[in-house]
Structure 1
């Protein structure tokens, strides 16, 4: 396995990880922004007020996106396993 193959595999793995984490991260960002705005308007500065709704929203987003995440992981794994011999042999 050469350096190019290693870099390509690492890049693919990082992109899959980014896509898998995206639903939770985007949901957490949007809910955090909304709660931050609400806290600024009401001057309530308690950390648990921001943590609990973000946690619940991110968990709900991951449950909602679970079929898509599993499908994405299965496609990536299948592609990786079927192409391992080609990549190891330099083809």
Structure 2
């Protein structure tokens, strides 16, 4: 097992997590910003007005990008599974 192989696996996993979280959370942040600007302009301070659209957008992104997310996760786990002999030093 080389440290470089382990670091490469962790670096790819970290990048995958950042990519997937950004894909799900960024649209929710943008919708939250738009709603906050609307609330500031109209001085409506209702918490559910901000929460519900963000929840709907987040769930929509998960549904829309779900197959791609699952494919990326399965590819990464397959790569880790195939690298097990190299990690334990058999090959």
Give the TM-score normalised by structure 2. Answer: 0.84
Superposition map of 1:49-88 within 5 A: 49-88=49-88
Q: Offset of 1:6 from its aligned partner?
A: 4.1
The 8 Å contact of residues 28 and 55 in structure 2, kept in 1 or not, is answered as yes
Match of 1:10 in 2: 10
**Matches of 1:70 and 1:38 in 2, distance apart?**
35
Residue by residue over 1:30-55, the C-alpha shift from the partner in whole angstroms, topping out at 9 and shown as x without a partner, is 11111111111111122111011100
Structure 1 gap segments, 5+ residues each:
none
Structure 2 gap segments, 5+ residues each:
none
**Matches of 2:26 and 2:72 in 1, distance apart?**
18
Match of 2:47 in 1: 47
Of 80-89 and 48-57, more deviation after overlay is shown by 80-89
Q: Number of aligned residue pairs: give it.
A: 91
Give the TM-score normalised by structure 1. Answer: 0.84
Aligned-residue RMSD, C-alpha: 2.0
SS of equivalent to 2:45: coil
